[in-house]
Amino acid sequence: MASAANANLNAVRETMDVLLEISRLLNTGLDMESLSICVRLCEQGINPEALSAVIKELRKASESLKVSENCTN
């Protein structure tokens, strides 16, 4: 039983490593934690395209805040 659990855990790690490498090749800017969260959301039924749109909007908002902070300093 423990060896099956270990094999499953190793498969999950290998899958996440492959997904992270693909993410890096595509220059998504996602780290392992963010990518893992995205994968879990997709597994729970979240539309990947909608998730992508939200991430893009959050990045734009973050960049706008950084620019406005730089202008006031």
What whole-number distance in Å separates Cα of residue 13 and Cα of residue 10? 5
Say what the pTM is: 0.79
Cα-based angle 12, 13, 18 (whole degrees, multiple of 5): 100
What whole-number distance in Å separates Cα of residue 15 and Cα of residue 35? 12
CB 39 within 8 A of CB 58: no
* 61-67 contacts at long range (C-beta below 8 A, 24 or more positions apart): none
In tens digits, the chain (73 residues) has pLDDT values of 678 888 899 999 999 999 999 999 999 999 999 999 999 999 999 999 999 999 999 999 999 998 888 888 6
